[in-house]
Amino acid sequence: MFSRATRAVTAFASLLSVTACSVFGSAAAPEPEYRVTLSDPPFEVRGYGELVVAKTPMGEGSRAAFGRLFDYISGTNTGGRDIAMTAPVLNTDNSNGSKIAMTAPVLQNREGVREMVFVLPAEMTLDTAPVPTDPAVTLGTIPPRRVAVVRYSGFMARNAAAQEARLRNWMADKNLTAQGAAEVAGYNPPWTLPPWRRNEILIPIEDD
């Protein structure tokens, strides 16, 4: 049985061989669809539909949380079947526990109980997504919502506090009212060079 680290390195190596451009910032995974209702670069207001997610607490740190979610999309789910990763893995039937495509972004709540969240592929529902076999991983949904967003490069966590403050100042100028905790989102694989990384702070806001 391969260890988590071995499987992760193998998967990332496979992705790197077909997504070398991701070193310079191209995303290596599909993203949830959204509608931009206000654009003021690097700020935006977006509307998202309902998202199906896998989530886990970050009490032991981001590395442990990421590992549990990575295990889930790698087959630690009902059925437990492991399929070689491509860029990206696309499966429409995961009832047998096959590997799930990893989508972007990876979300982290910045307030209260900290959780890491993987957004699952758009074709999945709570009924069709395979059940995690790790009790620390749960499935859920994020309801449709509007969010204010600021985009930034560099290290995701290191710059998050300053970018959140920047976004909240912009929201105040635009009379946008927060309706939930800030989240930090990362879109690139870990080998992407910091200047070309795409990170975002997202804050839910009131509807029009």
Return averaged pLDDT per consecutive 10 residues of the chain, 208 residues in all.
49 40 54 93 96 84 81 84 28 39 62 75 86 93 95 88 95 96 80 85 90
Its pTM stands at 0.74
Nearest Cα to 45, choosing from 179, 172, 203?
203
In the CATH hierarchy, which top-level class contains the domain 4-205? alpha beta
The pLDDT of residue 166 is 97
The pLDDT of residue 141 is 93
Using DSSP's 3-state secondary structure scheme, residue 150 falls into strand
The pLDDT of residue 85 is 30
The pLDDT of residue 106 is 64
